[in-house]
Structure 1
Amino acid sequence: MSLFRAIAGPIAASIAFVMELTLVPLILPAIQSHYDLSLGSMAWVFNAYGIAVAVGVIAGGWIGDAFGAKRIFGIGVLMFALGAAIVASSASFEALIAGRVLQGFGGGVFSPLVPLLLTKALPLRPGKILIIWGSVTGYVAAFAPFAAGQVVAFVGWQSVFVFFVVLSGAVLLLSAGNGATQTEAAPRTTPNLFLLTKARVLWLVFGYIFCTYGAITFYLFRLPLLLAETNYTVETIGVVLATIWMSFSIVGTLLRNWVDGSHIRSIVLAAPVLIAASFLTAYLSSDAIWLMISAILIGAGFACSNAPSTQLVLKFAPPGLSVISASLDITFARLGGVVTVAWLAQSDFSHSVLVIAGLSLAAVVFAMVFLRRSSEA
């Protein structure tokens, strides 16, 4: 029972973290209507969370080492829950933003600790538990928008954040008294962060992550609002978002045996091409069939970028700096989303397609350089 709680708690927290990214885009049109917000203000609703996550990820990595991963994990989940509660009960735009910031910071604090807690719970089979973790969260994220679309249509957008509060409460109950890591703070040599400045290939990977994740995040932000403007229902928007995550999960599963070999080059280069093709498809036609094709393409591009880029970050991380490099991976992903959404939030979709094409081209260039240097090393 203790092992079950040690595994179930972090996985449930990870589900909450991932579902924030899958469900909030679904309710953006409802939030916009409820508060009568412009696209510029909606960018703040979306980006307040992303900025806070980027800061919280770095904080979570550092203080988790200093004060114990289990304790800091619990604090992060509590902040995530409190932020969601504030959003659900917010009567003003300012309260909404405050809740998003607290929720994002809490999510950033606990998210990098999830794989650490899981592998400590099952130290003899770390690969198995990480595969289970990825599979469970991926498929839950795929089905969540479809189910949530039905609930939101009848109950309201606040129900999404109430769900986050309930799920976070379950995580805290599972984690309470779970015996885990009382002796985590073994003396260690202070890592030499200066080595990061010399890891040029690593920074090229971060550039690739910034571009690809920026484009994907803008898609998740803009497409639901665009569909709402053309009178698509929240249920239909939920189906489109569910298609993205189902495509992501299926392609990720298919790639699991390829990313460790020479195929990683093709996979990494395919991601920005698929992302650009997705935007072009959505721009050419708003018919349901083309929107579904666009959703499949963006999900496939996400899968080709997500795990392979993290794998490369860990490969090129300087000795002793794997944890901070993994944290920077998440930070650059979130910052890419924040910058792209802020830049394009109020632009015509046609202009956005051109910018995304530019970001995709930049990602291809980054990939070609770091893949060439990797083969030379």
Structure 2
Amino acid sequence: MTAHTSDIEKETLASGPPRKAIIGPVAANVAFVMELTLVPLLLPAIQLHFDLSISKLAWVFNSYGIAVAVGVLLGGWCGDAFSTRKVFGYGVAFFAAGSLIVAAADSFEMLIAGRILQGLGGGIFAPLVPLLLTRALPQKPGRALIVWGSISGYLAAFAPLFYGSFLGGDGWKTAFIFIAIIAAIALLVLSGSPSSKDPAPYTGRPADYSALFQARDLWMTFLYVFCTYGSITYYLFRLPVWLSENEVEAASIGFVLSIMWLTFSCLSTLLRNMVDSPHLGAIMFAAPLLIVAGFPLLYLGDNFLLLIASSVLVGSGLACSNAPSTQLILRFAPKGMSAVSTSLDITFARFGGIAAVALLAETEFAYAAVAMGLSCLAAAVCALAANKGLADEG
């Protein structure tokens, strides 16, 4: 009888409440991704509404990014030192409150205050999303991360199209309110999930950060993230600029970018059963090869089909690097430092993009192509090294 009851309890935990433990973080990430994809489209309306100069509009954009960078480090440290779920909850609450302040802002100062609070909250909870997902589904952590990544990709593709079709003008306020509502729903779902409690706290020695710096395979994976995301970010920056210079209409540019995000989402879904298998290393190795193959097609002519092929290749590379690299980082993270490791994952991805765009923004294509080739080559070498570390660990 006891064994039978235990089996029922296990089945309940496996099929019922863990779904809420997954839905909560994913919903919060939905709000985070909507901010990422929608705000560039909202900036012109915000500028018109507040009659802002270009320099002030830049602060509207950059204040959020700076706050995210601070929040990521804070969230990573607090996520390991305190209750991961509580820290995550505070981050989501700050993000939702900041979004509402932005929507209600009647002055530039109030707008900036809202963006800072929003960015701080997003930075705090973002690195904890993969941690909560893998804890909610420990038997198939890669599958949970793939679901997370694919949903993000679908939103990245369709959110701008939805805004352009149904909102506009003062619709930017509605967009921020909608973001706040989704964040609030995520908080309610996660707090109502009894199965999503933190695991027993780590009872070993206090976190030894020297172990973090000595984790060679972890840092090879960070370098992999820096190179792959740097290349992808440069692609996302250069593609609209290059197409605009060639008098391609904005609708067509948006369509090409949507194809990239849709490819990322669809392939992420197809890979959901492979990232927990020995194929993980091969998937990560394929990512930089796919990315670097997409760059030449971008410049081979005005053939629209080549542009689509280019976006498909880069989107495929993003799918092969996103969840797999995060899973590997969690596996290589020293005990008691999982949240710090995922926060560094985000930091390296952001710095990779910043470096690539800053160094190559005005560079001729031939030089940029060489730089991207070298970056992807370095990422491929890192993937091989990380895969060897994974084999040695096994």
1:17 to 32, 54, 63: 32
Deviation at 1:138, TM superposition (A): 3.9
Q: Deviations over 1:332-365 (max 9, x none)?
A: 1122123323333455566544432332222223
Query: Which protein shows a greater Rg?
Result: 2
Distance of aligned partners of 1:207 and 1:96 in 2 relative to their CA distance in 1, 3 Å threshold: farther
Deviation at 1:275, TM superposition (A): 1.6
Q: Is the 8 A contact 1:51 1:338 kept in 2?
A: no
Q: Is the 8 A contact 1:146 1:235 kept in 2?
A: no
How does 1:293-308 map onto structure 2 within 5 Å? Answer: 293-308=309-324
Letter in 1 for 2:296: L
Deviation at 1:248, TM superposition (A): 0.6
Q: Report what 2:4 is aligned to.
A: none
**Bigger shift: residues 217-226 or 346-355:** 346-355
Letter in 2 for 1:193: Y
2:129 to 94, 98, 114: 114
3-state SS of paired residue (1:284): coil
3-state SS of paired residue (2:343): helix
Q: Report what 1:203 is aligned to.
A: 219
**Bigger shift: residues 304-313 or 176-185:** 176-185
Residues 1:276 and 2:292 are matched in the alignment: yes
Residues 1:248 and 2:272 are matched in the alignment: no
Q: Is the 8 A contact 2:142 2:272 kept in 1?
A: no
Number of residue pairs matched by the alignment: 374
**Bigger shift: residues 22-31 or 185-194:** 22-31
Residues 1:164 and 2:218 are matched in the alignment: no
Q: Is the 8 A contact 1:61 1:327 kept in 2?
A: yes
Q: Deviations over 1:212-243 (max 9, x none)?
A: 11121233334344445555555434322321
Distance across 2 between alignment mates of 1:252 and 1:183: 27
Q: Is the 8 A contact 2:71 2:123 kept in 1?
A: yes
2:337 to 309, 316, 321: 321
Distance across 2 between alignment mates of 1:187 and 1:263: 30
3-state SS of paired residue (1:256): helix
Q: Report what 2:372 is aligned to.
A: 356
User: Root-mean-square deviation (CA), in Å?
Assistant: 4.0
Q: Which runs of 5+ in 2 are unaligned?
A: 1-15
Distance across 2 between alignment mates of 1:99 and 1:285: 44
Q: Deviations over 1:85-128 (max 9, x none)?
A: 56557789887766554433211211233345456667898777
Residues 1:343 and 2:359 are matched in the alignment: yes
Give the TM-score normalised by structure 2. Answer: 0.76
Residues 1:145 and 2:160 are matched in the alignment: yes
Distance across 1 between alignment mates of 2:135 and 2:201: 15
Q: Report what 1:63 is aligned to.
A: 78
Residues 1:236 and 2:236 are matched in the alignment: no
Distance across 2 between alignment mates of 1:304 and 1:105: 29
Q: Is the 8 A contact 2:190 2:196 kept in 1?
A: no
Residues 1:81 and 2:102 are matched in the alignment: no
Distance across 2 between alignment mates of 1:373 and 1:127: 18
**Bigger shift: residues 132-141 or 270-279:** 132-141
Letter in 1 for 2:161: F
Distance across 1 between alignment mates of 2:209 and 2:361: 35
Q: Deviations over 1:232-275 (max 9, x none)?
A: 55543432232112101122222233334443343222211222
Distance of aligned partners of 1:7 and 1:96 in 2 relative to their CA distance in 1, 3 Å threshold: same
**Bigger shift: residues 227-236 or 260-269:** 227-236
Give percent identity, aligned residues only: 51
Distance across 1 between alignment mates of 2:256 and 2:246: 14
